[in-house]
Structure 1
Amino acid sequence: MEPLLALLVGFGGARLAGAAGIDALDGWQPALRVGVALMFLLTTFAHFYPPLRADLVGMVPPALPNPGLLVTITGVLELAGAVGVLIPATAPLAAACLIALMIAMFPANVSAARRKVAQGDPIGRRTVLQLVYIAAAALTIP
């Protein structure tokens, strides 16, 4: 639920900044990019903060090798996407890559929900939230 709050607060704050005269944020699409970036910065933090990292490592399906390395790699990719979505020239590619990453990582959410590991929402709520995050990233693409 925290990523959703980051998305909404980032979007709302950026819209307010745009309305207050910051031209780069004057529009729903640039503001949404800020929300998406903030959301992914928050999730990136979880990949490296030890108590949260342990939960993410536990979410990796058992069939996949080296869960710690996979969590590190996805954290780095999320960080790159968060930065990339803020740069107008790279925003479309970064958003597309973030969408692909979310789709690729969704089986870990399903696996975690089925195994009842890590914190988080039941699979129905996880699915709805994932669709919201994918839609938000998609809407940042001009």
Structure 2
Amino acid sequence: MAPVITLAAATLLARLTGLLGADALDDWQLCLRIGLAAMFTLTGAVHFVPTFRDDMIRMIPPRLPAPAALVALTGALELAGAAGLLIPATATAAAICLAALLAAMYPANYSAARRGVPLAGKPATPLGIRTAEQVLFIALCALAAL
């Protein structure tokens, strides 16, 4: 739920700032990219926080090799994508790559939901909610890429 809240709050705050006179933020797509960047900064950073990292490692489907390395790699890619969203020359490519990354990470979310893997001591998110969130994030990345 924290990623959804971060995304919504950052996007709305950026848009409100634009409506209050910051001409640079008078563009819904830029505000969406800021919201996505905030969300991916949060989600990317927690890949390196021990409490979350251990659970994320357990989320990786057992058939995949080197789960710790995969968690580090996806965290680094999320952080790089977040930065890329904020640079006009790379924003479109970053949004497309983040959408692809979300799709590639879905098997871990599916596996975690099916196996009941908790995250930071909280119960596992049900599969339907995980899927809806992934679809939402991918759709918003696609909108940010336009």
What is the TM-score normalised by the length of structure 1?
0.97
The structural deviation recorded for 1:84 is 0.2
Partner of 1:96: 96
* CA deviation after TM superposition for structure 1 residue 24, in Å: 2.0
Secondary structure at 1:118's aligned position in 2?
A: coil
Percent of aligned pairs with the same amino acid? 54
Residue 125 of structure 2 corresponds to 121
Cα RMSD of the aligned pairs, angstroms, is 0.9
Q: Which residue does 1:112 correspond to in 2?
A: 112
Q: Among 125, 131, 136, which residue is 1:132 paired with? A: 136
State the distance in 1 between where 2:109 and 2:145 align: 25
Query: Partner letter of residue 31 of structure 2?
Result: A
Alignment gaps of 5+ in structure 1: none
> Which residue of structure 2 lines up, in the alignment, with residue 64 of structure 1?
64
Following superposition of structure 1 onto structure 2, how do residues 67-86 of structure 1 map, counting pairs within 5 Å? 67-86=67-86
Greater Cα shift, 82-91 or 16-25: 16-25
Which string of whole-angstrom CA distances, capped at 9 and with x for unpartnered residues, describes residues 89-119 of structure 1? 1001000000000000000011111111123
1:9-45 deviation digits (Å, cap 9, x = unpaired): 0100100111122222111110000000000001012
The residue aligned with 2:51 is 51
Q: C-alpha offsets along residues 54-77 of structure 1, whole Å, 9 cap, x if unaligned?
A: 111110001111111100000000
How far apart are the structure 1 equivalents of 2:17 and 2:140? 19
- TM-score relative to the length of structure 2: 0.94
8 A contact 2:118–2:125 mirrored in 1: no
Aligned length, in residue pairs: 142
Letter in 1 for 2:5: L
Separation in 1, partners of 2:140, 2:24: 19
Alignment-mate amino acid for residue 101 of structure 1: L
Between stretches 21-30 and 88-97, larger displacement belongs to 21-30
* AA of the residue aligned to 1:56: M
Greater Cα shift, 114-123 or 75-84: 114-123
**Larger deviation, residues 55-64 vs 22-31:** 22-31
Gaps of 5+ in 2: none
